[in-house]
Structure formats: C-alpha cells, structure tokens
Structure 1
Amino acid sequence: MTNLQVISVISVFFVITSIICFCLKTHPNFRIPDIDIEFRNDSTHALVVTKIATRAHPAFFYIEFVSNIWFTMELFIRFLFCPKISQFTRQAVNIIDLIATLSFYIDWALDRTITGANRDTVEFFSIIRILRLFKLTQHFSGLKILFQTFRASAQELLLLVFFVLLGIVIFAALIYYAERVETNPDNQFHSIPVERDVLYWAIITMCTIGFGDMVPKTYLGMLVGSLCALMGVLTIALPVPVIVSNFAMFYSHAQARSKLPKKRRRILQPHEIKPMVGGLASIRLFNSLTHKMCHQFIRHICWML
C-alpha cells in the first residue's frame, strides 16, 4: 500500500467516524443531564428556576476533536500546496470542508457560554458536518460517477422539479374544489396553503407515497387522487432514461480509463547517466537520423501508391 493510499484510508476513516459520532450523540443513552439554574429577583420574592436539559457525553467531544485536527491539517496542507488559490476556492469539497471544520471550533467556543434552547440552535448548525460525506467522492470512483451523472443531468432534473411543482399546484386546487362540490361532512381539505395543507397531500400523492392521513371521501375526489398518482408516476419516470444514459456513459468511460496501462516515467539518478562522447555519440545520432529519413520515405512511397 502506497503512502497516498494510506492517507486516503485515514481520511475516509475520520470522515466516517465523525458522521457516526454526530448520529450517536443524539441517542438518549449517550446523553447526560445538564442542569441550568437561573435566579430571578422579584420585588417581593427571589425565584430560583431550574432547567433540566441533556447534552452529549464528553467522550464524543474528544473523538470529534481528534477528527477535526486531522481535517484541519489536511485542509491546511491542501491549501499550502495548491497550484492556484483561485482554483482551490472554487472547489465545492474544499468549501464544505472549511465550513464543517469551522463549525466545530465555533461550537467548541460557544459551548460554555450558551445554555438551553440556544445550545440546541448551535447544535442544529452542526448538521453542516454531515456534508463531509461528499469528500468520499474523491476516494470512491462509484460516488464520483454518480455525482457526475447528476451534474450532467441537472437540466433534466430541473425540468422534472418544474413539472412536479406544476402538477402539485394543479391537483391541489382540483382536490380542494372536488371535495367541496358534493356534500361531505368529513372533508379534510379545508384550505390549499394553510391548516390541513392540500399542497402537502398533492406532494405525497404525486410521489406515490400516500401516508393516508388525508384521503378524499367523495367519488370526484377519488378520481382526482387517482389521476394525481398516475401523473406523478409518469412525470417522475420521464427523465429516468436520460439519467440512466448519462450514468452508463460515465461508467463505461471510467471502466475504459481503468483498463489503460499506467505509464510511469522513471527519473534517472545522476550516477546512472552515461554521457555520449566522441565517435559513439556521432554514430548514435547518425543512426537515429537515418532511421527517421527511411521511415518518412517509405510513408511517402506508400501514399503515392
């Protein structure tokens, strides 16, 4: 295993460790009580308010601390030896790595100064660290192919989102009025944007999920719901062949590149260089020129024939 492969394995290990720690520290068994005592002075009474919350076990902090030391060193070395700073700052992986690393140090600095709901707000922004999963695209060719496929299919995906949003609005309006045409005391579709959200029902139905918490009760509403599910299947299936075609193209290209021979030019050491001097150099130069001229002459004769 080469040094580059060792560094790649270590980087992947710390990325996975960081993500696992982020998920495990939210489990109740890995959290400890955090009692916050607040004193409030009234004109007649002195009140002591005790707020009991939970925080992650300190062991997770030390694990993340070691991981972020590695990420900091890796980011600093990449920045130090990059050919162009402008090219370094334009890469999305570097920006994600910088923001995720800074979020840890900011969380560390504010950990002892904030309490209660403010701490939950700071922990919410630590979700940015999950974006480190995109760093795995540098080490796994399959993820890189998938990312390139989505980037090449961005126009088709945007078109898909547009038609899905269009269908959601249309079927939300249709189901709202379809449930009000007939007498329906159990009508759950009270408003399109608020209360029982009809837009939410349209999204779930077009994606063919169907949670069942909101269902049409009239025959006309059932017809609209069926059409909504059918149009959702057709709309989502339309760009799939384009995405599959792009994936097959990038996959075949990656397979072809992996089968190419890896040519490595060996650099000679100073003591291995034997200079050509005298008649030996002249003979080798003459043989090289003669071979080149004969080759060009034969190609010229073949072209004339």
Structure 2
Amino acid sequence: MRPFSAPQLNPATETGWRRRWFDIIYRHDSRPSRNFDLILVVAIIASILVVMIDSVQHLHAEWSTGLYILEWAFTIIFTAEYLLRLAVVKRPLRYAVSIWGIIDLLSILPAYLSLFIPGAQSLLVVRALRILRVFRILKLTRYIEESGVLMTSLWRSRRKVLVFLFTVITITIIAGALMYVIEGPEHGFSNIPASMYWAVVTMATVGFGDIVPQTVLGRFVTSVLILIGYSIIAVPTGIYTAELASTMREAELAARRDARGCPHCGLEGHEPDARHCRRCGGELPDAFNH
C-alpha cells in the first residue's frame, strides 16, 4: 500500500447532502471536486504563510490581531472540513486512522493546544503535509512527445521530481518550526523563516556556521537533516536517469516497428516480435537485421 494512498471509503448514504458532499470530497473526477481540492490547497498554503509571518517579531507586533483572527479562521475552516469528512463516510474510524485522517487531525490540534501550551501554535506548519493533496488535482495525461529524448525524459519525470521537491520543502518547513521551538531566538533561531534558512543550508551540507544549535535535541535534528541532505542530489538524478533509459528503450522499439515493413504488401508498423504480416500473413524480415 502506498503511504499517501487514500483509504477505501464508502458514502454514509446513497442520497441526500451527505452523498453529494462525499462525491465532492472523495471523488476527484469532477469539476466541483477539483475546485474543492484547489480551494483547500490555497487555504493550506495561506494558513502556513500566516504562521510564518506571525513568527517574525516586528510583523507580529504590527499585525498580531489580524494574524490571530486569520489563524483561528483557518482553524475553524479545517476543523469543519475534518468533521465533514468524517460525517459523509460510512465508517468514520477508517478515515480517522488513515494517514490523511491523522494529518488532518494534526493540522488543527496545535491551534487548540496553543490555548494551554505556549509555542505549540508554531507547529501548525505541519499543515504543509496537506499540500500533498495538490497531486490529486493533477490528472495523469499522455506525455507530450518532444523532439529530443532528453526533453521527453525530463518532462516525463517531472511529477516524481515535483513530489520530491515538495517533500524537501515540507521537511524544511517542519524542521524550521521544530528548531524555532527547540532552540528559540536566544540561539539565533529568531523566527521560522530564519530557521528554514538554517535547514536549507544544513541539508545542502554547506554549513555557514552563522546559526548553530546549542541543545542536544537541536543537534540531533541537525544530524538527521545532514543525512537527508545527501539524498537531495542522488534522488532526482536517479529518477531522471531511469526515465531517460526508459525513453531510449521506447525510441528503439519504435524505430524497429517503423523499419519492419512487409515485403509482400508494404504494410509498416509491425511489433518487434511479430513474425508475419497482420494484413497479408506474409513472413516478415528479422528486425535485428535492420
């Protein structure tokens, strides 16, 4: 099972508003469903930006009231969405314990925890995990044939590379928020954007040394990020190389098909392993001799 695959869910009812909302939320083959997902992704990104801006001291001092209202507005929206997702399915627990259900719950819990635990609100950037929903909006379409094998391979690997880039961005956001909570301004992690800068530098294994973690937990997070950094170049390179090899094999097979014309009736485009013409039944020449 894929880690981010949606659980198999059934509608709570076959008619009525619950069925209509089930189709909108869980089916992704209609315009209302895609619009719902698009609005949700925009709201997630906007809420993350609000949390980041709120962590910048001078911006917080200037816009604290507005940012507070916006954050709770987003929290109410996401809470309503979470409850709606549970209400329209036949077995709510199946969604609640799925990876998406857990992420949805984690995205709203920090706001309520912040009422009792100072600093918990910064962990609202866990909502970045929900940006992965954007890939359900994008429909798989036929790859556009480019004139060059390299461009075709790059185009074909774009989705895997984008998933990887979104994963790196997500790790950067969450690591920045964690270090902001763990280390704090007294150790140079003055806000979440500054902490994200540190995370990028650490994963790139550059290490300028302008921001250095002082706590044991902070150094542990640093060690994990350094190990992750080694995969940043290797993973997309491997993805592209595999796609390039596949594209080259397809081009070779296409060339063999084009070369295998029937000497009896002239029909072209036979499969590489075909022995006889599909039109006249005549024997075909060996493709490997071309």
TM class, shorter-length: 0.3 to 0.5
Report which structure shows greater RCO (CA 8 Å, sep ≥6): 2
TM-score (norm 2): 0.34
Looking at secondary structure, tell me which structure has more strand per residue.
1
TM-score (norm 1): 0.32
